[in-house]
Amino acid sequence: MKHAFLKALLAAGAIMIAWNCSDESSTGPKAPDYIVTSEAWILSADQDYVIYPPANGENFGIVTNAQGDQIGIFTFNSANSPIGTITDLTGQILYDAVDVGSLTVVQQNTPVYTITGPVWLLNDDSGDYLVYPPADGITGVVTDANANPVGYFNFTTNTLVALDGVTEITSVDNITDFPVLNPGDKFTKEPDPVIVESSSSEFVPGPESSSDIGPTPTSSATPKSSSSQPKSSSSAPKSSSSSGGSSYQIKYVNGGKSGSGYATRYWDCCKPHCAWPEHGGSASTCDAKGNKIGDKSASSMCDGGNAGICRSQFPIIINDTLAFAFAATPGGENNCGKCFDLVFDGGCKYDATSLHKKMKGKHLIVMSNNVGYDVAGGQFDVMIPGGGYGIFNGCSNKMGWGSQGSQYGGLLDECEKETGYNSSKYKSCLTEKCNKSFSSDPEAKEGCLFLATWMNAAGNLTHNYREVECPQELKQRY
């Protein structure tokens, strides 16, 4: 619900008065009560909001809570205005008419943990946890940074569960790989990989990226200017081996489509919607061996013909935080040939696990070459071999592959059920199934493994999306 801003304005005014009376420098104090990864503004209202400046040449910055979890975005009214609006991750307005020029500026801080004995510091996208050694040889108590109990860690399965003893919070490969802290130790939380501001309205995702901007420490504070769900019916992407180097500049389309939603998956071998003449015929279509078919009226594999997905359209890994793929988008939206940047937020359409949380901040740029009339608004049905064949199945009689798993959800859906929904086993199960189902087709196998590796075996990921200029790697494969 949209709040009246009076309460926030009074709180901000109180901070500003205290700030002006302080002897500290104008760049602002450290903020020991907040997780702050670079300079940011603090708004105290119904809760404390940490507002970061634009890091990408656009007019918005992320908003986190005091614990460092992203909860929304701050959009400036214009390039030269310090006033803007806080919205949550669904787009709902929380506060409007927020003047960041009147707020306190805080710098990156070093969290201090309350520790009563030697502990492992387990830090991942789900949070920071202090894991104490097991008293019974198997299970250890887990607290947050303030020594509040949050759950238990099973040293046999390397899994952290909530206080109910059942709900999984996160899992790791080996807890002993994490740093050990003793009472009095301090640990600086490394900021997550960020997107660097480029010389134009482009973003450069990648592990090497670094942020070099912060709020201007003046009263103006002017920002810088410029699955298990039914899937659709059709085609797919190119090899998931790395391509094109370790970084890529993402160019957003001014006035392009944007919103939030979730990503499902499928691969049905049918001729894609965008390849049919009545839908523009702009997309390519190929036979089972990957040879392009010039006849735009050729029958689909799903109708007994030879026209289907081109093998050049398997997913493409650029680096650990960026990948390309093709996808089906909702019917009636006219998206053929358009591209969208899906930025995963660490959530899931249904029940999020540690696998989903570790996907937070990753970018998947998809090009629409198919339409799914069973695809909902904001949903992108990503083309991944072994992802499930949906309503139609053109693969079984043409491709010579093994089992494609469940009709809706594919091989990963089978793994979820076979492991009793134990997410710590999804990757190994899916890897085994990909190797077996595509043993005679190395390229398709790599495409299948994309879900197990880059996508962390996480299904139905939630995301925010924006329309972008299409990468050359996708255009030449379209």
Residue 302 near residue 270, CB atoms below 8 Å: yes
**The predicted structure's pLDDT at residue 206:** 47
For domain 250-475, which architecture applies?
Beta Barrel (2.40)
Q: What mean pLDDT, rounded, does the chain reach?
A: 75
| Separation of alpha carbons 106 and 39, rounded Å | 6
Concerning whether 125 is annotated as a catalytic residue, the answer is no
Of 159-163, 204-208, 381-385, 407-411, the range with the lowest mean pLDDT is 204-208
Concerning whether 173 is annotated as a catalytic residue, the answer is no
**The predicted structure's pLDDT at residue 57:** 60
pTM above 0.95, yes or no: no
Residue 365 pLDDT more than 90? yes
* Strand order across the beta sheet in which 60-64 lies: 93-99, 83-88, 70-76, 60-64, 48-51, 40-44, 104-106
Of 28-32, 147-151, 407-411, the range with the lowest mean pLDDT is 28-32
Q: What angle do CA 262, 265, 270 make, to 5 degrees?
A: 135
148 phi, psi to nearest 5 deg: -85, 125
**The predicted structure's pLDDT at residue 305:** 85
Residue 306 pLDDT more than 50? yes
Which tokens hold the place of 120?
């492992």
Highest mean pLDDT among 194-198, 253-257, 347-351, 366-370: 366-370
Give tens-digit pLDDT for 26-38.
334 334 456 776 7
Residue 250 near residue 202, CB atoms below 8 Å: yes
pLDDT band at 287 (very low <50, low <70, confident <90, very high): confident
Residue 420 pLDDT more than 80? yes
Of 138-147, 175-184, 197-206, 246-255, the range with the lowest mean pLDDT is 197-206
pLDDT band at 304 (very low <50, low <70, confident <90, very high): confident
Q: What angle do CA 194, 196, 200 make, to 5 degrees?
A: 145
Return the higher-pLDDT residue of 234 and 169: 169
Of 146-150, 246-250, 293-297, 324-328, the range with the lowest mean pLDDT is 246-250
Set 268, 341, 345, 374: catalytic member? 268
**The predicted structure's pLDDT at residue 363:** 92
Set 99, 345, 374, 381: catalytic member? 381
**The predicted structure's pLDDT at residue 65:** 84
| Separation of alpha carbons 412 and 47, rounded Å | 39
Q: How many CB atoms lie within 10 A of CB 71?
A: 17
3-state secondary structure the chain: CCCCCHHHHHHHHHHHHHHHCCCCCCCCCECCCCCCCCCEEEEECCCEEEECCCCCCCCEEEEECCCCCEEEEEEECCCCCCEEEEEECCCCEEEEEEEHHHCEEEECCCCECCCCCCEEEEEECCEEEEECCCCCCCEEEEECCCCCEEEEEECCCCEEEECCCCCEEEECCCHHHCCEECCCCECCCCCCCCCEECCCCEEECCCCCCCCCCCCCCCCCCCCCCCCCCCCCCCCCCCCCECCCCCCCEEECCCCCEEEEEEEEECCCCCCHHHCHHHCCCCCCECCCCCECCCCCCCEHHHCCCEECCHHHCCEEEECCEEEEEEEEECCCCCCCCEEEEEEEEEECCCCCHHHHCCCCCEEEEEEEEEECCCCCCEEEEECCCCCCCCCCCCCCCCCCCCCCECCCHHHHHHHHHCCCCHHHHHHHHHHHHHHHCCCCHHHHHHHHHHHCCCCCCCCEEEEEEEECCCHHHHCCC
Q: Mean pLDDT over residues 387-410, rounded?
A: 83
**The predicted structure's pLDDT at residue 205:** 53
Domain ranges of the chain: 6-106, 119-181, 250-475
Q: Mean pLDDT over residues 273-296, rounded?
A: 85
| Separation of alpha carbons 77 and 90, rounded Å | 19
Return the higher-pLDDT residue of 57 and 402: 402
Residue 360 near residue 462, CB atoms below 8 Å: no
Q: Mean pLDDT over residues 224-247, rounded?
A: 37
Return the higher-pLDDT residue of 56 and 193: 56
